[in-house]
Amino acid sequence: MSGKPDDPPIERRSLPRAAVLKDGTIITEDTTIACSVRNQHAHGAELRVEPGVVVPERFVLYVPADGVEYRAVVRWRKNERLGVQIH
């Protein structure tokens, strides 16, 4: 357990993520899904999609602000939030 209730949370990530707010598109074989990129580092990102949207385990993430397509694999899900590993 941590110390006092007002102590900052323990960072468990191996690489810190920078808070961002970028538009993105999840591209699958069948469809495209609008998303926002909430934080990002060289190997991962947190995405948000509309509630109820089904996102497959693997997809291409296109981020126009970066001008890059990333191969992405979902590592965790919580409601409309997705943690992805990107390559």
Chain-centroid distance, C-alpha 8: 22
* pLDDT the model gives residue 19: 75
Q: What is the pLDDT along the chain (87 residues), one digit of tens a residue?
A: 445 555 554 545 455 556 779 999 999 999 999 999 999 988 999 999 999 999 999 999 999 999 999 999 999 999 999 999 998
What's the pTM value of the predicted model, to 2 decimals?
0.78
* pLDDT the model gives residue 2: 47
CATH entry 2.40.10.220 includes domain 18-86: yes
* pLDDT the model gives residue 28: 96
CA distance 13 to 82: 15
